[in-house]
Amino acid sequence: YLQEMGYCPQQDAIIDSLNAWDHLYLFARIRGIPKVQVHTVVKKWINKLNLTACAAQPSGTYSGGNKRRLNIAMALIGNPSLVLMDEPTTGVDPAARRSLWNTLKTCQDSGQSIILTSHSMEECEVLCNRLVIMVKGQLVCVGASQELKQRFGAGYNIHVKLSPGRDYADVENIKRSIENNFTCSLRDENSGFLGYHITSNDVTWTSMYAVMNQLKNEYSCIEDFTVLSSTLEQLFIQFARAPEEEGAVRMNGNVSSNKWWKRRANA
C-alpha cells in the first residue's frame, strides 16, 4: 500500500550527497514505475518542478526553495493515490509558491487525494475542497471554505479608494454612513483608503452594493470600492480569539453544546 502513498514532511527529507535525479529515480522505482519508463518520468517531474538548473548538483547545495520542490516531486512521482503534505511550500518565494499550487491542483484534477497541513490560510483557500481548523490542538470545524464563512459569520470586507483632493468633512460623512448602515469596524484607514470589516450575519450583497453605490454617487471623492467575502485568515482569527471555556467541536453539521460555537452556527 505504500506504493500508493506519497509524503512530503515539513523538514526536508533528502540525502545531501544525492542529486535530484538520484532521489527521483529511487522514488520512481519504489512506486513501481517500470525501469524502461523511469528516465522519462523523472525528467518530466524535474521539468515540472523547475529543477532543471540544479538537477545534477548534490541536493545539499540547493536553496531552501529548491529543496522543497524536490521533496514535493518525491511525494508526487508515480502518481500515488494519496499524498500527505506538511507545510509543503514553507520557505518558497511567492512566485514559486503559486507555481507549486498549480502543480498540486493539476494532481487533484487527475484524481489524486491530497491531505495537507498549513499555517497559510491563502494556501488552504486555493487548494482545499474541505478544511479542518484546529485551535490549540482542538478540532473546531470541518467544511468547505465558503460554507464555514457563511456558517460561522466571518463577515465581509469593504474597501474604499478615495481621491487625493478629498474633503475631510466628506470622508467623515462617508465613514458615518457606512457605520450607520452596517455592523462593522474600521480596520484600516490611511491616505486615500478605508477598510471596513462587516460582522453582521444578515447583511446581503445587494444591500452592501446599494449603500456603496449611493455613497459613490453622492460623494465624488470615492474613486472606487470593492466588497469581498472575509478571508480564511479572518475566520481562523475569530476561532482563535473565542473564549477557551466556550470552545467546541463542529463536524459534519453537528455542533456541541458549548456556547460560543452554537451561537455562531445557529446565527
- 6 and 117 co-located in one domain: yes
**Domain total of the chain:** 2
- 113 and 175 co-located in one domain: no
Q: What is the CATH number of the domain that holds 44?
A: 3.40.50.300
Cell of 193: 483608503
Mean per-residue pLDDT for 116-126?
Answer: 88
- At residue 238 the predicted structure's pLDDT band, cuts being 50, 70 and 90, is confident
- 6 and 125 co-located in one domain: yes
- 25 and 95 co-located in one domain: yes
pLDDT at residue 250 is higher than 50: no
Per-residue model confidence (pLDDT) at position 242: 65
Per-residue model confidence (pLDDT) at position 40: 95
**DSSP strands (E only) in the chain:** 5-8, 82-86, 113-117, 131-135, 138-143, 156-162, 184-190, 193-198, 222-229, 250-251, 254-255
Across the chain, mean pLDDT equals 85
Residue 199's SS3 state is coil
Q: Which domain holds residue 44?
A: 2-129
- 94 and 158 co-located in one domain: no
- 116 and 170 co-located in one domain: no
The label of the residue with cell 538520484 reads 22
pLDDT at residue 202 is higher than 60: yes
pTM above 0.85, yes or no: no
- 101 and 212 co-located in one domain: no
pLDDT at residue 156 is higher than 80: yes
Dihedral (CA of 235, 236, 241, 246) sign: positive
8 Å CB contact between 230 and 156: yes
Per-residue model confidence (pLDDT) at position 119: 86
Q: What is the CATH number of the domain that holds 223?
A: 3.30.70.60
- 115 and 175 co-located in one domain: no
Report the DSSP pairing between strands 5-8 and 82-86. parallel
pLDDT at residue 22 is higher than 80: yes
Cell of 5: 502513498
Within a domain: 113: yes
Per-residue model confidence (pLDDT) at position 234: 76
- 87 and 22 co-located in one domain: yes
Within a domain: 205: yes
